[in-house]
Amino acid sequence: MPSTVVAQMIYNEEKQTLRIVYVSGMVYDYKNVPWEVYQAMKASGSKGTFLNKHIKGNFEFEKVE
């Protein structure tokens, strides 16, 4: 999953939370992300583009310290 933006994606199916670890080291949890959206992001050619188009602005989030 090489990406210039996303270092790691962790999905908690029970809580429907998608944790994104950015290459910069920042970590965010996006809430109420459906399994299908996570699967589509995993399958996408560009994780950063998918994140910007389909995750950011569409789901509540919080920064993880």
Q: Is 43 exposed, middle or buried (0-12, 13-18, 19+ CB in 10 A)?
A: exposed
Query: Are 60 and 30 contacting, i.e. CB atoms less than 8 angstroms apart?
Result: yes
H-helix or E-strand containing 35? helix 35-43
What are the tens digits of pLDDT across the range 42-57?
999 999 999 999 999 9
The pLDDT > 90 percentage for the chain reads 91
Confidence of residue 2 (pLDDT cuts 50, 70, 90): low
Evaluate if pTM is beyond 0.75.
yes
